[in-house]
Structure 1
């Protein structure tokens, strides 16, 4: 039993490490994942690596093509547009739920995430920017209390993060993002459901425009 727990823990650590490498852009879309290189790099067995890759495949971060092996998933332009369209709808609804259900402490948690984006250490660290942005959405969903929307957005989160990394990396985008999130927090404090829904939708639309213009999309040439 102890050995089984250790293997499960090691697999989880491996999954998390590979996921971070993909979401941080160290493993790039379309990059082939060579099992021998990865087993040597992480000091794990091939069977454990394959289990980790299967988990990431289920999350939509890896594809495994017959006779070609695993590689980092490429988000096509069509898929990206669908993801952003769904995000806009879900986050608008989440904003309305937040206004209706959130406590003052929930609003403060939302504001704290925006404040964190102003930290110089965060501004200079793309990984921490993504972490803080995820914390903002976690606070939004927790305060809204809609478990269905939270689950749907969680399922999209990894692919959203791949796109978010691109949009946040554009010059001036972090400043603009912070301003947009401040407006969202202000709407939350005023309990204005219509306004927060519009602001969240507009925020997603702006991120979509940047990501679609700068992301190396799988079918961009078609």
Structure 2
């Protein structure tokens, strides 16, 4: 039996969203329906419907064609302030509800994110997105999940490339380990604090590299 159209559309939307958040699709990049149909092995209708949904969510825009939306109109600090508020609250909620299965999945992702000189930045972005998405899943708050998704998009839409050194990557991954320890212990206050510090650390690296 053929799957309902709305289910296919939802899957296509999720895949395109993931590609945007992982910087596989970059701000300003044109999105060609035929190309997406080939890449995602999907029909024209679900691709078009998914693009319309993503337009409504602010992730893409339709000008002379579809393109990934940028975040140039937003002050950088406002993006990080929003991330601090949302990710710290998400971590607090997750600490009260997280399961051993999700903790084990987070641990596996941390090991994969450890710098080894061979992991491409694109792959690291994808793993990092998956790590934080799992924490959002553990928080089990669909409204907060929508806010988290939007702030993640604004962050990845920053147009200035910032290359993290291996030392910085190890430091941020150590924060991932500390956050996981707080989540395993169901320590809501500590998880909230570490999540906030984690975003602040990223801001301290990214903000000075951006044009003023």
For residue 180 of structure 1, give the secondary structure of its aligned residue in structure 2.
helix
Match of 1:211 among 203, 206, 212: 206
Call closer, same or farther: CA 1:162–1:144 in 2, change over 3 Å.
same
Call closer, same or farther: CA 1:77–1:205 in 2, change over 3 Å.
farther
Contact kept in structure 1, 2:92 and 2:191, CA below 8 Å: yes
Partner Cα separation in structure 1 for residue 43 and residue 128 of structure 2: 35
Root mean square deviation of aligned Cα: 4.0
Cα distance, 1:34 vs structure 2: 8.2
Deviations 1:135-182 (A, max 9, x none): 222332233333332232134443344459955x42233222211111
Could you list the runs of 5+ residues in structure 2 that have no partner in the other structure? none
Call closer, same or farther: CA 1:164–1:119 in 2, change over 3 Å.
farther
Deviations 1:1-34 (A, max 9, x none): 97x95xx95x778767765665554654335x38
Partner Cα separation in structure 1 for residue 90 and residue 159 of structure 2: 19
Partner Cα separation in structure 2 for residue 17 and residue 136 of structure 1: 16
The residue correspondences of 1:70-219 to structure 2 (distance < 5 A) are 70-76=66-72, 78-118=74-114, 120=116, 124-163=119-158, 166=161, 169-172=163-166, 173-214=168-209
Contact kept in structure 2, 1:130 and 1:161, CA below 8 Å: no
Judging by fraction of residues, say which structure has more helix.
1
Q: Which has the larger radius of gyration?
A: 1
Could you list the runs of 5+ residues in structure 1 that have no partner in the other structure? none
Q: What is the aligned partner in structure 1 of residue 56 from structure 2?
A: 58
Count of residues in Structure 1 that have an aligned counterpart in Structure 2: 208
For residue 78 of structure 1, give the secondary structure of its aligned residue in structure 2.
coil
Partner Cα separation in structure 2 for residue 164 and residue 200 of structure 1: 24
